[in-house]
Structure 1
Amino acid sequence: MKRRCVEVDERALHKMIGTIIDPERLEDDCAVIPCGDGRLLVASTDMLHETTDFPAGMTDWQIGWMATAVTLSDIASMGARPGQVLLAVGLDRPERLRGIMEGARDCCARFGAELVGGDLDAHGELTIVSTGLGTVEAAQIVRRRGARPGDIIAVTGPLGEAQAALVGYDRHWKELLEPQPRVREGMALARAGVSAMMDISDGLALSLYDLLGVNDCGFSVDTARLPLPAGVPEDEGRELALYGGGDFELLFCAPPGILPVAGVDVHVIGEVIRERVVLADGEPLERRGYLHEWGG
Structure 2
Amino acid sequence: MDGVDTARRMIDVAALAAHLAAHPHVTGKRDIDVACAALGLSQNSPGRPGDDAAAIPDGDGWQLMATEGFMNDFVASAPWFAGWCAVMVNMSDILAMGGRPTAVTNTLWAPDAATAQEILRGMKDASEAYGIPIVGGHTNLRTAQPQLAAAIWGRANALITSFDAQPGDVLIASADLRGAYAGDSSNFPAFLNAPHERLRGDMKILPALAEDGLVTAGKDISQGGIAGTALMLAECSGVAITIDATRIAPPDGDLTRWMTAFPSFGFLLTAKPENAAGVLSRFHQRDIGAVVIGSVSSGSALTLGEGSAHHLIWNHAAAPYLGLAPIKEPAHA
Do the aligned residues in 1 keep the contact of 2:75 with 2:146 (CA within 8 Å)? Answer: no
Distance (whole Å) between structure 1 residues aligned to residue 299 and residue 235 of structure 2: 13
Q: Which residue of 2 aligns with 1:87?
A: 106
Q: Which residue of 1 aligns with 2:330?
A: none
1:256, distance to aligned residue in structure 2 (A): 2.1
1:127, distance to aligned residue in structure 2 (A): 0.8
Amino acid at match of 2:106: L
Q: Which residue of 1 aligns with 2:212?
A: 192
Distance (whole Å) between structure 2 residues aligned to residue 186 and residue 17 of structure 1: 33
Do the aligned residues in 2 keep the contact of 1:205 with 1:285 (CA within 8 Å)? Answer: no
SS in 1 for 2:167: coil
Equivalent position to 1:279, from 300, 303, 314: 303
Do the aligned residues in 1 keep the contact of 2:116 with 2:146 (CA within 8 Å)? Answer: no
Structure 1 unmatched ranges of 5 or more: 1-6, 292-296
Give the alignment's TM-score, normalised by structure 1.
Answer: 0.79
- What percentage of residue pairs aligned between the two structures are identical? 23
| Superposition pairs of residues 207-218 of structure 1, within 5 angstroms | 207-218=229-240
For the pair 1:66 / 2:89, whether they are aligned, the reply is no
Equivalent position to 2:156, from 136, 149, 166: 136
Q: Which residue of 1 aligns with 2:52?
A: 29
Alpha carbons of 1:284 and 1:12: their partners in 2 closer, same or farther (altered >3 Å)?
farther
Amino acid at match of 1:200: I
1:275, distance to aligned residue in structure 2 (A): 2.8
Distance (whole Å) between structure 1 residues aligned to residue 293 and residue 69 of structure 2: 31
Alpha carbons of 1:146 and 1:173: their partners in 2 closer, same or farther (altered >3 Å)?
closer
For the pair 1:145 / 2:163, whether they are aligned, the reply is yes
Distance (whole Å) between structure 1 residues aligned to residue 111 and residue 301 of structure 2: 45
SS in 1 for 2:149: strand
Do the aligned residues in 2 keep the contact of 1:65 with 1:178 (CA within 8 Å)? Answer: no
1:34, distance to aligned residue in structure 2 (A): 2.0
Do the aligned residues in 1 keep the contact of 2:76 with 2:145 (CA within 8 Å)? Answer: no
For the pair 1:255 / 2:255, whether they are aligned, the reply is no
1:75, distance to aligned residue in structure 2 (A): 0.7
Equivalent position to 2:228, from 195, 199, 206: 206
| Superposition pairs of residues 210-249 of structure 1, within 5 angstroms | 210-230=232-252, 234=253, 237-245=254-262, 248-249=265-266
Alpha carbons of 1:42 and 1:276: their partners in 2 closer, same or farther (altered >3 Å)?
same
Distance (whole Å) between structure 1 residues aligned to residue 72 and residue 176 of structure 2: 26
- Equivalent pairs counted in the alignment come to 268
Do the aligned residues in 2 keep the contact of 1:165 with 1:176 (CA within 8 Å)? Answer: no
1:249, distance to aligned residue in structure 2 (A): 0.9
Structure 2 unmatched ranges of 5 or more: 1-26, 285-289, 316-320, 322-333
Do the aligned residues in 1 keep the contact of 2:176 with 2:265 (CA within 8 Å)? Answer: no
SS in 1 for 2:207: helix
Distance (whole Å) between structure 2 residues aligned to residue 183 and residue 17 of structure 1: 35
Alpha carbons of 1:20 and 1:109: their partners in 2 closer, same or farther (altered >3 Å)?
same
Alpha carbons of 1:219 and 1:133: their partners in 2 closer, same or farther (altered >3 Å)?
same
Q: Deviations over 1:192-215 (max 9, x none)?
A: 321001111121111111112121
For the pair 1:270 / 2:289, whether they are aligned, the reply is no
Amino acid at match of 1:286: I
Give the alignment's TM-score, normalised by structure 2.
Answer: 0.71
SS in 1 for 2:154: strand
Amino acid at match of 1:110: A
Q: Which residue of 1 aligns with 2:184?
A: 167
Amino acid at match of 1:283: H
Q: Which residue of 2 aligns with 1:42?
A: 64
Q: Deviations over 1:235-255 (max 9, x none)?
A: xx1111223345551111011
SS in 2 for 1:286: strand
1:10, distance to aligned residue in structure 2 (A): 0.7
Q: Deviations over 1:113-149 (max 9, x none)?
A: 2111111013212111110000011xx1110011112
